[in-house]
Amino acid sequence: MKKLSPRLKNIPRRATMNALLLVFILIYPLTTGLYQIDTMAKVIPLMIFALSADLLWGYTGIMSLGQAVPFGIGAYIAAISNNVSAGIPSYMRTYGITEVPAVFRPLTNPYLGTAFAILIPCLLSFMIGRLLLTGKVRGVFVSLITMALSNVLMLAVNNAQRFTGGSNGVNNVSRPSLFGHILSITENYYFVALIAALLFAVCAALTSTKFGKVLGAIRVNENRVAFIGYNVTSYKVFVYVFSSALAAIAGILYARTCGMVSPSLTGLRLSILVIIWIAVGGRGNLTGALFGCLLLNGMERIMAGIIGDAWEFVIGIILLLIVFCVPDGLIGTLLTARPGLKKKEAANG
Amino acid sequence: MADTILELMDVTVDFKGFLAVDAVSLSVGRGEVRTIIGPNGAGKSTLIDLITGKTRLKFGKIVFDGADITLRPPHEIAHAYGIGRKFQGPNTFFDMSVFDNLLLALRGSTGVGKSIFYRRTDDARGKIDDILRIIGLEDKKDTLVSALSYGEKQWVEIGMVLAQDAKLVILDEPTTGMTADETYKTGEMIRAMRKDRTIIVSEHDMDFVRQVAETVTVMNQGKILAEGTFEEIRQNPEVIRVYLKE
Ligand SMILES: Nc1ncnc2c1ncn2[C@@H]1O[C@H](COP(=O)(O)OP(=O)(O)O)[C@@H](O)[C@H]1O
Ligand SMILES: [Mg+2]
């Protein structure tokens, strides 16, 4: 659609929104104190997490309710690696463990630890993807199975106390260190922001290619894609593994910024929250996922202090309002407002 | 037939006891335009699903261009063997432009890696422009497919099949929902695309069949009832009984 009405022409488009977001993130630390900077540094990895889920759900139409699996595994491996590289973690000592368990020994090297924190979730997702994304299991069943995986992992993490610290999680995780120097709160903020910006650029580049178009084609008409020669399963598995890598990186950064991990990072709640962030921001354009994540996490941190657990209720109402009033999400609606494309026509394509 | 491109040998499709295609043998010559007619439910679409890998056969064998393609997956039949199909009723990527629909269907670069590093060449652009001309949608190339008329959507799909550069093109009832004028135009498109391709069309519209057909195969209740030229078929008493008088 080349002809946009004058009013629509003035709507800030994606690049403008991305630029605004970048500027906000860059100047935020200059406007506030260390506590807020640290809080925001915990939200930025969640934005990477939101990108990962948007590739999967927003672009390809695969609604995983187990995106916390790669996130949580990445976070845990990073946390354990950080702990064991400094000796025997205290939670292990309480179980009488006097030397680093054999499975964790490679993690005593921080670089290997980080590599494993990314590779193991990818490997797991590759295996799950090969089984789950062959076209035999569809739609809501993919959601249900991935949801079950999320639950199983959380149970396992809760029960393998000797290795995972059980419900207490793993504590005393240090912020990332570069060149032998542990980053300060502000340095870590910019470090996390830099990685997020790079990963965003990778996602934006990836989705702008023909590959990105194929993902969109799979979303709207999966059956047709195979008949023009594409192996739909390999595309889906690729996206699934790639988005797991992003989720794992998000998990690593989250763990290192928070200083601790707990079983909830692997569970269903987080898997569902990321879907809600994207639904609110708008799916399938990356920017919506970032805004949705920022908006809801920002609100959560402000509101939880005021209304406590009632926030869970508010988030439900926000979701309902969005689904019924702006089904394309806040950013999605701004971006796709296009004269000439009517809903009815879109439905019977 | 001197040079056979597609050969179905005794193929049978079993939908839980119902034989939608029942021991059908069929051979199509290279460069031929074959029309398959038959009443609704005769098994035309199922036969096409079978050739393109959408439906699995229970018995039989399918040989295409010398290769056994029985039970190969759809993407392989489309890409590696070069069989393109248009579905019955529009089946496109409705939230993309006409251009992007054609681009996606363009032959080559279907692998994950290749599609990531794909750069659109002038050659590809030229091909798409040619196709847009053939399907008469040059000035709608940036329009979303969802905003097109029913007939135009069917043409987009014909364009996609052309873009695939398939050796064998199969069109399942390409003119349903079209006006007489659109149907005629579609017939001309098919005549234009036949140069270096083999074409199979399943069809209902008799004027259209007359316009494009060389050999006509008549199906009924999962079986082949008759085969011949349009005139032969039109005079075949059995065909008249089950189909033409319908
Ligand atoms: N997936 C299916 N399961 C069961 N029966 C089917 C299926 N697909 C088609 N059929 C039946 O097979 C018969 C042939 O259908 P079809 O090939 O679509 O006929 P045509 O295209 O000639 O109108 C019909 O009776 C139809 O109801
Ligand atoms: Mg049919």
- In tens, the pLDDT along B7-57 reads 999 999 999 999 999 999 999 999 999 999 998 899 999 999 999 999 999
Q: Which two tokens stand for residue A230?
A: 């594409």
How far does A337 lie from chain B, in Å, by closest CA?
A: 13
Identify the burial level of B32 via C-beta atoms within 10 angstroms of its C-beta, where 0-12 means exposed, 13-18 middle and 19 or more buried: buried
Cβ separation A227–B118 shorter than 8 A: no
Ordered by start, the domain boundaries in chain B are 93-157
Nearest to B185 by CA among B218, B145, B158, B217: B158
Q: Are A339 and A8 in contact (CB under 8 A)?
A: yes
Mutating to test ligand 1, I would choose from B11, B13, B15 the residue with most ligand atoms within 8 A of its C-beta, which is B15
Cβ separation B107–A209 shorter than 8 A: no
Give the DSSP H/E element, type plus range, for residue B21.
strand B18-29
Q: Where are the beta strands (DSSP E) in B195-243?
A: 198-203, 215-220, 223-228
* Relative orientation angle of helices A268-281 and A287-307, to the nearest 10 degrees: 120
Cβ separation A224–B78 shorter than 8 A: no
B33-37 vs B168-172, strand pairing mode: unpaired
Contacts with A17 (C-beta within 8 Å, 6 or more apart), sequence order:
A287, A291, A331, A334
B28 beta partners: B6
Q: Where are the alpha helices (DSSP H) in B80-119?
A: 98-105, 112-116
Look at residue B136 and tell me whether its pLDDT is greater than 60.
Answer: yes
Cβ separation B94–A346 shorter than 8 A: yes
Cβ separation B84–A340 shorter than 8 A: no
DSSP assignment letter at A22: H
* Planar angle of CA A51, A56, A61, nearest 5 degrees: 130
Look at residue B73 and tell me whether its pLDDT is greater than 70.
Answer: yes
B11 beta partners: B24
The predicted complex's ipTM stands at 0.91
- B29 phi and psi angles, rounded to 5 deg: -80, 155
How far does A266 lie from chain B, in Å, by closest CA?
A: 29
Choose the closest CB to A234 out of B94, B96, B112. Answer: B112
User: Which residue has its alpha carbon closest to ligand 1 atom 10?
Assistant: B20
Q: How far is CA A31 from CA A28, A34, A290, A318, B196, in A?
A: 5, 10, 21, 28, 69
Distance from the CA of B49 to the center of ligand 2, in angstroms? 10
How far does A278 lie from chain B, in Å, by closest CA?
A: 20
Mean pLDDT value across residues B160-187: 91
Contacts with A103 (C-beta within 8 Å, 6 or more apart), sequence order:
A163
CA–CA separation, B173 and B224 (whole Å): 18
Contacts with A258 (C-beta within 8 Å, 6 or more apart), sequence order:
A42, A173
List CB contacts (< 8 A) between B110 and chain A.
228-231
Cβ separation A227–B54 shorter than 8 A: yes
| CA nearest to B164 within chain A | A228
Identify the three-state secondary structure at position B14.
strand
The answer to whether residue B111 neighbours chain A at the CB level (below 8 Å) is yes
CA–CA separation, A277 and A297 (whole Å): 9
Nearest to A235 by CA among B166, B83, B163, B75: B75
Mutating to test ligand 1, I would choose from B46, B47, B56 the residue with most ligand atoms within 8 A of its C-beta, which is B46
Look at residue B64 and tell me whether its pLDDT is greater than 50.
Answer: yes
CA–CA separation, B61 and B43 (whole Å): 17
CA of B243, nearest ligand number: 1
Q: Are A228 and B84 in contact (CB under 8 A)?
A: yes
Q: Are B110 and B82 in contact (CB under 8 A)?
A: no
Tell me the per-residue pLDDT of A292-318, one tens digit each, with 9 for 90 and over. 999 999 998 888 788 888 888 888 899
Render each residue's pLDDT in chain A as its tens digit; 349 residues.
444 444 555 455 888 899 999 999 999 999 999 999 999 999 999 999 999 999 999 999 999 999 999 999 999 999 999 999 998 998 999 888 888 999 999 999 999 999 999 999 999 999 999 999 998 888 889 999 999 999 999 999 999 999 999 999 999 999 999 888 999 999 999 999 999 999 999 999 999 999 999 999 999 999 899 999 999 999 999 999 999 999 999 999 999 999 999 999 999 999 999 999 999 999 999 999 999 999 999 998 888 788 888 888 888 899 999 989 998 899 888 887 654 444 444 443 3
Q: Which atom of ligand 1 is nearest to the CA of B219?
A: 22
Number of Cβ atoms within 10 Å of the Cβ of B220: 19
Q: What is the number of residues in chain B?
A: 246
Ordered by start, the domain boundaries in chain A are 6-337
CA–CA separation, A130 and A233 (whole Å): 8
CA–CA separation, B157 and B153 (whole Å): 6
Mutation for A interface: B116, B125, B153, B165, most A CBs within 10 A: B116
Tell me the DSSP string of B135-163.
TT-GGGTTSBGGGS-HHHHHHHHHHHHHH
Q: Which two tokens stand for residue A33?
A: 């104190």
Q: Are B11 and B57 in contact (CB under 8 A)?
A: yes
Nearest to A14 by CA among A339, A296, A340, A332: A332
Q: What is the pLDDT of residue B14?
A: 94
Distance from the CA of A175 to the center of ligand 2, in angstroms? 63
Cβ separation A211–B115 shorter than 8 A: yes
Alpha carbon A51 to chain centroid, angstroms: 6
Q: Are B67 and B81 in contact (CB under 8 A)?
A: yes
Tell me the DSSP string of A203-267.
HHHHHTSHHHHHHHHHHHHHHHHHHTT--HHHHHHHHHHHHHHHHHHHHHHHHHHHS-B-GGGGS
The answer to whether residue B227 neighbours chain A at the CB level (below 8 Å) is no
The answer to whether residue B124 neighbours chain A at the CB level (below 8 Å) is no
How far does B227 lie from chain A, in Å, by closest CA?
A: 28
The answer to whether residue B153 neighbours chain A at the CB level (below 8 Å) is yes
Pocket of ligand 1 (CB under 6 A): B 15, 18, 20, 38, 40-46
The answer to whether residue B79 neighbours chain A at the CB level (below 8 Å) is yes
Q: Are A48 and A246 in contact (CB under 8 A)?
A: yes
How far does A336 lie from chain B, in Å, by closest CA?
A: 11
Cβ separation A211–B96 shorter than 8 A: no
Cβ separation A234–B111 shorter than 8 A: yes
Contacts with B20 (C-beta within 8 Å, 6 or more apart), sequence order:
B13, B14, B43, B46, B222
Farthest CA pair distance, chain B:
58
List CB contacts (< 8 A) between B93 and chain A.
216-217, 220-221, 224, 349
User: Which residue has its alpha carbon closest to ligand 1 atom 25?
Assistant: B41
DSSP assignment letter at A103: G
Confidence (pTM): 0.91
Q: What is the mean pLDDT of chain B?
A: 91
CA–CA separation, B94 and A349 (whole Å): 5
Q: Are A115 and A99 in contact (CB under 8 A)?
A: no
Distance from the CA of B56 to the center of ligand 2, in angstroms? 17
